[in-house]
Structure 1
Amino acid sequence: MTASQDLRTLRRAAFLALPLLAIAALAAVYLLDDGRDAAQDSGSLQILGSETMRPLVTACAEAFMARNPQADIVVRGGGSGDGVAALLNGMIDIGMTSRPLSDKERDFAATRGIDLAISDLAIDGIAVIVNGANPLSALSLDRLKAVFTGEVANWRDLGGADRPVLVFGRAAGSGTATLFTDRVLGGAAETPGAQKLATNEAIVTEVAARPDAIGYTSLGAVRNAGNRIRLVALGAAGSAAVAPTPETLRNGAYPLGRMLFFGVAGAVSSTARAFIDSCAGQAGQALIQRAGYVPLQAGSR
């Protein structure tokens, strides 16, 4: 076994063994080596980041490995912030992020001379959901903000029963939480009573089980929820509320639409390039559609 193979084997084992919460901390002190890093090991990929993207990219990775048995792709979640940090510090081959890069991240790459490239993978929307038994069907963004900051804390203020609103949000480090805070809360703090969950799927599970709950999640995470939850249409004050659909996400009418991104840094291995290209191709975009997200090309099957 060559030194490069030894390095790849050790890094793969360490990557699988690391608790997700430790990855961001390690990224801050991780040193780039002399070039024989994971990003240049043909046939092996380590991908980390957005929990929103984890199920989707896992499906793409399984399809890619079925077509390319020599490939070895490991996909882990943890949050967009962790994925970008690990990418910028040379710990992974591909980072997954459900939000644009922050100025701080771009500045870090620039000061370190890191050639950072971001590519679109799919279109998604942050869906606001209530329990399936809740008749609420639409909210203005102002009223939604009032709910999540605690200004509105009882369903009677939204035309419902005299019961407290149970608020569910994503944990810190989530790209979904970052975009929701920016676009809905305007930087205001969520109500202290909000329960913070690690994954979009957990938000769906809790809201589906609790008649008085409201939460936000990735549109892709609701695809199998059926009538256990209800999507809430959103709009600016005085404007018609819009539901998240492929059409409204493509044309920008839905106010919480977003792109999902792959990120790479520095030299990209042929395996990483082939994988990214396969996700953007017809077969990959068909997987994206089946997973509940909106493919980049309209009409993908």
Structure 2
Amino acid sequence: MKKAKKILSLITAAALLTIGLAGCTETAQQDNSGTSGTTQSQTAKLSGNISMVGSTSMEKLANALSEGFMAANPGVTVNAEFVGSSAGIESLVGGKCDIGNASRALKDSEKSSGAVENIVAIDGIAMVVNKANPVKNLSKDQLIGIYTGTIKNWSEVGGSDTAIVVVGREAGSGTRGAFEEILGIEEKCVYANELDSTGAAMAKAASTEGAIAYVSLDVINDTVNAVSLDNVEPTADNILSGSYFLCRPFVMATKGEISSQSDLVKAFFDYVESSEGQEIIKKVGLILPQ
């Protein structure tokens, strides 16, 4: 009898052990399943390539946003080419890139071709002169006179007896287009030099006595002097207040609405609109659109 009870106890213990092990196995499977789901979610990263082409004035902004986006998404590569606004939009509507950068508002003809204007920042256009130039301010009429050739010497606007060297950008430049449109002098400018990048225009003003050039506000450095216009300095605050008249939009155009783009391109624009993206825009010296 004692032997039978002992056998029964052993059988019961074995059964309990089996049930316990089964329970542990089921719990472990559930835990592993939960962990696997979380891991897959955490490791589901964006990957692929984004191509953008366009404005040389937007190089600093485009590179900063691209670098930030790639740092947050190591599987993504953003390729940026800076060849001018018109060339960028042409590339976009031709299906050769994902984003066309334009440092001006889009033309009606570009919009009718499918380009959608996505304004990501506002930029001021600064007028820069050689460091030796004593002129600190120009009126709007004086600026128009300089660029249309009716004012040819700095002595005519309070400066020294020095010939004015009128520096501008190449045809198709967004900066040139915006500058001439704001002043109402399209196809009326008399340029001594037409240069193909913002950096080249800055360098010409820095190295040439008597030179004047228009450049993006965010690239100004101590190699040149930025003149006031109508006694208003080219600053972000003055642009926001509307008191500084030379300003233009920075556009990252898409072919069709952003909502119709690839998930990767949509994610890029989400990043631009994020707090991190907005901080980058401000750090490079640009103004957030209102």
TM-score, normalised by the number of residues in structure 2 = 0.79
Give 1:165's aligned residue: 164
Distance verdict in 2 for CA 1:104–1:296, change over 3 Å = closer
How many residue pairs get matched? 242
Note the 1:12-51 alignment, pairs <5 A: 43-51=48-56
The alpha-carbon deviation at position 43 of structure 1 amounts to 2.0
Q: Which amino acid aligns with 1:276?
A: F
The alpha-carbon deviation at position 125 of structure 1 amounts to 0.7
Give 1:70's aligned residue: 75
> Within 1, Cα distance between the matches of 2:285 and 2:108?
30
Secondary structure of the corresponding residue to residue 288 of structure 2:
coil
**Structure 1 residue corresponding to 2:90, chosen from 85, 110, 116:** 85
The alignment status of 1:243 with 2:224, answered yes or no, reads: no
- The alignment-based identity, stated in percent, is 35
The alignment status of 1:99 with 2:89, answered yes or no, reads: no
> Within 2, Cα distance between the matches of 1:188 and 1:83?
21
> Within 1, Cα distance between the matches of 2:162 and 2:136?
18
The alpha-carbon deviation at position 217 of structure 1 amounts to 0.6
Q: Which residues of structure 1 form unaligned runs of 5+?
A: 1-40, 236-240
> Within 2, Cα distance between the matches of 1:269 and 1:42?
12
**Post-superposition CA distance 1:47-78 (Å, at most 9, x none):** 00111112211121111111111101100111
> Within 2, Cα distance between the matches of 1:217 and 1:87?
24
> Within 2, Cα distance between the matches of 1:61 and 1:262?
12
Secondary structure of the corresponding residue to residue 117 of structure 2:
strand
Secondary structure of the corresponding residue to residue 163 of structure 2:
coil
Give 1:207's aligned residue: 205
**Structure 2 residue corresponding to 1:261, chosen from 239, 245, 251:** 251
Higher helix share: 2
| Rg larger in structure | 2
Secondary structure of the corresponding residue to residue 45 of structure 1:
strand
The alpha-carbon deviation at position 188 of structure 1 amounts to 4.4
Greater Cα shift, 268-277 or 179-188: 179-188
> Within 2, Cα distance between the matches of 1:43 and 1:58?
17
Give 1:31's aligned residue: none
How large is the RMSD of aligned CA atoms in angstroms?
Answer: 1.7
> Within 1, Cα distance between the matches of 2:187 and 2:119?
29
Q: Which amino acid aligns with 1:281?
A: S
The alignment status of 1:127 with 2:121, answered yes or no, reads: no
